[in-house]
């Protein structure tokens, strides 16, 4: 029988978040420490995998449950729209490789995307597909109107990060999805910097495809990610990797019926990363129990504390923060004239305060379990 998910007694419980007693981890936009329940789920798998036949374990029913939990997390229509992928790159490449491209098609991205959301589209140049870049403004913003103006009747896909890794800027996806849909194209979203910390609603945002790995804001392990496909588009997208598991009669090994599963499972060609997905299940269950709205309310308070405290100490704040709708879990700050950003990040790490160096700036990304006292410790160190 599937084991129940753990209850949440406190948002800053050291049992649920062992990192609290080990360090001040403020780099959840990089690689997060796995939460306690995820670590326990993976350890339990290791114990069971070494002592039980797989037929007696609950791993596969738990992974089926993870599909439903993931659908709840992003408000998908149901588990049939969810596939499991090794990472964000695989999900984005599934769209890039799965569509039937025509010479002259265009893909709209920004000029500051994380490489995972650039190279799969740039690779399509060998098929005559053109990459159209929207420029980031000097204040770190990606203007929605600029993106919409770049969409033409040749636009097949707009692929954007919901939150930009180098600035922390969150973009409003709804008007973009409306514009690209009118043009006959699709919206693909790299959501690794938003799922798990911000409310993400694929239906209200009009998202067609979404990919995110679990090792950042979802507090899970690396190598276990999610891929969302709108139910009406599953069969249009050809699986870029064909294996045994994405066929309708996968368990009937001698029946070689070459016919893909009709839902998002068609993008799972072979054996899952079982321990990783079990860890991700525990982590997503924890986030859902806390509630994503509550998570974001807490993180917004912590990031405001970072931004205001850094500004008081003479640091520039690069992240757009005037509008709540543009804020995210990351605050990117500029080092003072007398400092070098890389040296500052190193000095903080020597005090067990972990932030990230990105594009010559310092990125601070707390999660909901971090405490105001930890933010004050960062500010004092600055």
Domain boundaries, the chain: 19-33+291-381, 54-289
What pLDDT, in 10s, does the model give residues 300-355?
999 999 999 999 999 999 999 999 999 999 999 999 888 899 999 999 999 999 99
Average pLDDT over residues 3-18: 66
Give residue 4's pLDDT. Answer: 46
Nearest C-alpha neighbor of 100 from the set 41, 156, 168: 156
- Residue 53 region, left (φ>0) first, then alpha (ψ -120 to 50), else beta? beta
Give residue 11's pLDDT. Answer: 75
Give residue 54's pLDDT. Answer: 83
Average pLDDT over residues 295-299: 96
Average pLDDT over residues 29-44: 97
* Rounded Cα distance, 122 and 115, in Å: 10
Give residue 14's pLDDT. Answer: 81
Contacts of 92 (CB under 8 A, 6+ apart): 116, 117, 120, 159, 188, 190, 211
Total Cβ atoms within 10 A of residue 326: 19
Give residue 68's pLDDT. Answer: 98
CATH number of the 19-33+291-381 domain: 3.90.1150.10
Average pLDDT over residues 122-148: 97
Q: How many CA atoms lie within 13 A of 218 on its CB side?
A: 34
Give bridge partners of residue 35 from the DSSP assignment: none
Residue 2 has pLDDT above 70, yes or no: no
188 token code pair: 């693909």
Give residue 41's pLDDT. Answer: 97
* pLDDT-based confidence at residue 198 (cuts at 50, 70, 90): very high
CATH number of the 54-289 domain: 3.40.640.10
Give residue 56's pLDDT. Answer: 80
Residue 210 has pLDDT above 90, yes or no: yes
Phi, psi at 159, each rounded to 5°: -120, 115
Give residue 10's pLDDT. Answer: 62
Average pLDDT over residues 115-135: 98
Average pLDDT score, the chain: 95
Phi, psi at 163, each rounded to 5°: -125, 130
Residue 6 has pLDDT above 70, yes or no: no
Give residue 339's pLDDT. Answer: 86
* Rounded Cα distance, 335 and 288, in Å: 36
Average pLDDT over residues 224-241: 97
Give percent of the chain with pLDDT exceeding 90. Answer: 93
Q: What is the 3-state secondary structure (H, E, C) of the chain?
A: CCCCCCCCCCCCCCCCCHHHHCCEECECCCCCCCCHHHHHHHHHHHHHHCCCCHHHCCHHHHHHHHHHHHHHHHCCCCHHHEEEECCHHHHHHHHHHHCCCCCCCEEEEECCCCHHHCHHHHHHHHHCCEEEEECCCCCCCCCHHHHHHHCCCCEEEEEEECECCCCCCECCCHHHHHHHHHCCCEEEEECCCCECCECCCHHHHCCCEEEEECCCCCCCCCCCEEEEECCCCCCCCCCCCCCCCCECCCCCCCCCCCCECCCHHHHCCCCCCHHHHHHHHHHHHHHHHHCHHHHHHHHHHHHHHHHHHHHHCCCEECCCCCCHHHCCCCEEEECCCCCCHHHHHHHHHHCCEECEEECCEEEEECCCCCCHHHHHHHHHHC
Residue keyed to tokens 């067609």: 208
Residue 15 has pLDDT above 90, yes or no: no
* pLDDT-based confidence at residue 207 (cuts at 50, 70, 90): very high
What pLDDT, in 10s, does the model give residues 257-296?
999 999 999 999 999 999 999 999 999 999 999 999 999 9
Phi, psi at 357, each rounded to 5°: -95, 120
Phi, psi at 90, each rounded to 5°: -65, -40
Average pLDDT over residues 129-154: 98
One fold for 19-33+291-381 and 54-289: no
If 0-12 CB within 10 Å is exposed, 13-18 middle and 19+ buried, where does residue 166 land? buried
Give residue 178's pLDDT. Answer: 98
Give residue 55's pLDDT. Answer: 79
* Rounded Cα distance, 332 and 303, in Å: 10
Lowest mean pLDDT of 57-61, 62-66, 137-141, name the range: 57-61
């Amino acid at each position: 029988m599937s084991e129940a998910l753990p209850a949440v007694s406190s948002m800053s419980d050291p049992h649920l978040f062992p990192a609290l007693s080990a360090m001040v981890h403020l780099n959840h936009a990089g690689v997060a420490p796995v939460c306690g329940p995820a670590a326990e789920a993976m350890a339990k798998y290791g114990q069971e995998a070494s002592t039980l036949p797989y037929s007696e374990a609950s791993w596969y029913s738990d992974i089926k449950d993870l599909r439903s939990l993931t659908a709840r997390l992003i408000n998908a229509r149901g588990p049939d729209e969810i596939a499991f992928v090794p990472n964000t790159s695989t999900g984005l490449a599934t769209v890039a490789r799965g569509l039937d491209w025509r010479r002259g098609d265009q893909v709209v991205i920004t000029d500051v995307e994380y490489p995972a959301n650039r190279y799969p589209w740039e690779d399509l140049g060998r098929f005559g597909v053109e990459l159209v870049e929207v420029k980031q403004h000097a204040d770190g913003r990606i203007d929605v109107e600029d993106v919409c103006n770049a969409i033409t009747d040749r636009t097949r896909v707009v692929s954007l990060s919901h939150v930009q890794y180098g600035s922390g800027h969150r973009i409003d996806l709804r008007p973009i999805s409306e514009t690209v849909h009118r043009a006959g194209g699709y919206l693909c979203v790299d959501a690794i910097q938003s799922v798990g910390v911000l409310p993400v609603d694929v239906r209200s945002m009009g998202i067609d495809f979404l990919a995110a790995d679990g090792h950042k804001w979802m507090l899970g392990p690396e190598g276990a990610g999610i891929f969302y496909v709108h139910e009406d588009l599953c069969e249009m997208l050809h699986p870029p990797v064909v294996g045994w598991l994405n066929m309708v009669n996968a368990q009937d090994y001698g029946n070689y019926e070459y016919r893909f599963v009709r839902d998002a499972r068609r993008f799972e060609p072979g054996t899952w990363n079982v321990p990783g997905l079990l860890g991700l299940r525990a982590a997503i269950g924890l986030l859902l129990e806390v509630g994503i709205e509550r998570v974001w309310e807490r993180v917004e308070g912590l990031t405001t504390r970072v931004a205001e405290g850094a500004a008081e100490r003479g640091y520039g704040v690069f992240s757009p923060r005037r509008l709540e709708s543009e804020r995210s879990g990351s605050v990117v700050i500029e080092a003072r004239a007398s400092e070098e950003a890389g040296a500052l990040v190193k000095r903080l790490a020597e005090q067990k305060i972990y932030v990230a160096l990105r594009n010559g700036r310092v990125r601070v990304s707390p999660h909901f379990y971090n405490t105001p006292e930890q933010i004050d410790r960062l500010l004092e160190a600055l």
